[in-house]
């Protein structure tokens, strides 16, 4: 459920009519609903009720805006981070160090040192090589790094190949069969506090079965490790639960169903459980608000050319993702159209032959469920300004990231001195 609704025929985010934001800030612009984020944090907490002190570490990559993170920090959420940049954002937003877990296959020594210095709950190690580097870094600082291995359970997540992470051929984690030997090895390394185990098999999962299979394997591993005297106190079960994008498809399992499954499989492990939801928290809390530039005739259907493009919302181009598209002031009639942006690639297509509200040039349109992996992945391809972000809370709203204008992008480039002379034709 989200807080984008029609009031007097006009789409609002909570108490704010979207045309007001478009008029003041321009388009395209991302708009986020505080109430929706708060609701989803609450739904996740309720789903995990009954577990001993679970840590919900929001996956910062989904939407790293500091205002979003500050909203979630107030709900008691921690952070799952994958870079020094995300660590800095989480801390800048007020997320407590002891609620931060650090995932990712390519942590550098510098990133490790900064996280150790500022403090964190756990490093999720993704290779023995990484463990050895962290051991050196921590030992040189006179610290013990809290660690667990991320294991790769080799289960098919049943999601898009580009967001599958728990199959044997993926780069993530260590093969679960190698884990006992890897734990034996890191227990002998200096600068290590071996405390946990982690798993994350993919994103936008629409069935609980692969998660359950992965968790069962982690449970067996914990027992095996304990049998050889390795105390495991933390199990990080990752994120990945899908959200509804296409209203015509069955809804993904609910957080409550997920929580019940976790209690059944992991409730008696005797560990602190960590969860890393990203999309579940921010996905439905955001829309990308855009304006129709023009409608152009096409061979099969008219093209609806909007002022947002693949650089603003990459998901359709990258994953053939479906985003619901609707008019901000729907009049009733429908049309079938192919929705595209201005970027010079045929991949800059948001939807093909989509039945949607009838709109015309200058009308406002929204892409729904764009709060996760939307602005986070935006860029300036085709020298387009980087899309701003607005946060709504009831009747008030604020720009939480300003548009990065083309002049600022150009100012970041530099002409070297050998090119600075006036152009003389050969």
Instruction: Give the active site residues.
Output: 344
CA distance 154 to 238: 15
**Residue 24, token pair as written in the block:** 């003041």
Identify the bridge partners of residue 327 per DSSP, sorted by sequence position. Answer: 365
For residues 179, 184, 189, 194, the Cα torsion angle rounded to the nearest 10 degrees is 70
Write the binding mask 353 to 372 for ligand LLP: x where contact by CB under 6 A, - elsewhere. -------------------x
Write the binding mask 18 to 57 for ligand LLP: x where contact by CB under 6 A, - elsewhere. ----------------------------------------
If one asks whether residue 315 binds ligand LLP (CB under 6 A), the answer comes out as yes
If one asks whether residue 105 binds ligand LLP (CB under 6 A), the answer comes out as no
Cis peptide before 138 (omega within 30 of 0): no
Beta strands, E only, 39-178: 55-59, 78-81, 100-102, 122-125, 145-152, 174-175
Residue among 21 and 62 whose Cβ is closer to ligand LLP:
62
If one asks whether residue 196 binds ligand LLP (CB under 6 A), the answer comes out as no
If one asks whether residue 59 binds ligand LLP (CB under 6 A), the answer comes out as yes
Q: How many residues bind ligand LLP (CB under 6 A)?
A: 20
Please answer whether residues 306 and 325 qualify as being in contact, where contact means their C-beta atoms are separated by less than 8 angstroms.
Answer: no
CA distance 307 to 413: 25
Burial (CB count <10 Å: 0-12, 13-18, 19+), residue 70: middle
As measured in angstroms, the least distance from the Cβ of 17 to ligand LLP is 28
In the block, which residue shows the tokens 């061979």? Answer: 299
Residue among 28 and 240 whose Cβ is closer to ligand LLP:
240
Write the binding mask 156 to 175 for ligand LLP: x where contact by CB under 6 A, - elsewhere. -------x------------
Range 276-305, binding ligand LLP (CB under 6 A): 276-280
CA distance 59 to 277: 6
Pick the binder of ligand LLP from 196, 240, 252, 316 (CB under 6 A): 240
Please answer whether residues 397 and 21 qualify as being in contact, where contact means their C-beta atoms are separated by less than 8 angstroms.
Answer: yes
Taking contact as CB under 6 A, which single stretch among the options 112-120, 264-272, 273-281, 381-389 is the one that binds ligand LLP? 273-281
If one asks whether residue 107 binds ligand LLP (CB under 6 A), the answer comes out as no
As measured in angstroms, the least distance from the Cβ of 310 to ligand LLP is 13
Pick the binder of ligand LLP from 2, 14, 80, 363 (CB under 6 A): 80
CA distance 233 to 194: 9
CA distance 98 to 352: 46
Pick the binder of ligand LLP from 200, 272, 323, 401 (CB under 6 A): 200
What is the binding site for ligand LLP (CB under 6 A)? 59, 62, 80, 103, 163, 200, 203-204, 238-240, 276-280, 315, 319, 372-373
């Amino acid at each position: 459920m989200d807080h984008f609704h029609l009031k007097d025929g006009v789409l609002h985010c909570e108490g704010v009519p979207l045309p007001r934001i478009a008029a003041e800030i321009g388009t395209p612009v991302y708009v986020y609903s505080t109430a929706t984020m708060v609701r989803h944090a609450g739904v996740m907490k309720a789903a995990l009720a009954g577990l001993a002190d679970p840590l919900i570490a929001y996956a910062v990559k989904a939407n790293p805006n500091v205002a979003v993170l500050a909203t979630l920090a107030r709900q008691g959420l921690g952070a799952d981070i994958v870079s020094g940049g995300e660590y800095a954002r989480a801390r800048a937003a007020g997320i407590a160090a002891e609620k931060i877990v650090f995932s990712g296959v390519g942590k550098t020594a510098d990133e490790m040192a900064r996280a150790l210095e500022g403090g964190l709950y756990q490093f999720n190690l993704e290779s023995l090589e990484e463990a050895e580097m962290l051991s050196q870094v921590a030992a040189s600082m006179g610290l013990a790094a809290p660690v667990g291995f991320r294991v790769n359970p080799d289960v098919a997540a049943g999601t898009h190949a580009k967001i599958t992470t728990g199959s044997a051929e993926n780069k993530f984690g260590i093969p679960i069969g190698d884990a006992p030997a890897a734990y034996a090895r890191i227990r002998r390394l200096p600068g290590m506090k071996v405390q946990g185990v982690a798993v994350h098999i993919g994103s936008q999962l629409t069935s609980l079965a692969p998660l359950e299979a992965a968790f069962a394997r982690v449970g067996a591993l914990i027992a095996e490790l304990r049998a050889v005297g390795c105390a495991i106190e933390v199990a990080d079960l990752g994120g990945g639960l899908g959200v509804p994008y296409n209203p015509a498809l069955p809804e993904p399992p609910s957080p409550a169903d997920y929580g019940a499954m976790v209690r059944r499989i992991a409730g008696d492990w005797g560990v602190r459980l960590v969860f890393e939801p990203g999309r579940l928290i921010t996905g439905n809390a955001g829309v990308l608000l855009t304006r129709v530039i023009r409608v152009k005739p096409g061979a099969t259907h008219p093209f609806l050319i909007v002022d947002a493009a693949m650089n603003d919302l990459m998901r359709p181009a990258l994953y053939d993702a479906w985003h619901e598209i609707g008019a901000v002031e729907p009049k009733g009639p429908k049309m079938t159209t192919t929705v595209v942006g201005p970027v010079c690639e045929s991949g800059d297509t948001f939807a093909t032959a989509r039945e949607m509200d009838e709109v015309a040039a200058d009308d406002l349109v929204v892409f729904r469920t764009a709060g996760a992996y939307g602005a986070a992945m935006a860029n300036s391809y085709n020298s387009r300004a980087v899309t701003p972000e607005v946060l709504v809370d009831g009747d008030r709203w604020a720009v939480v990231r300003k548009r990065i204008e083309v002049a600022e992008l150009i100012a970041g480039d530099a002409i070297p001195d050998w090119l600075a002379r006036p152009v003389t034709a050969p």
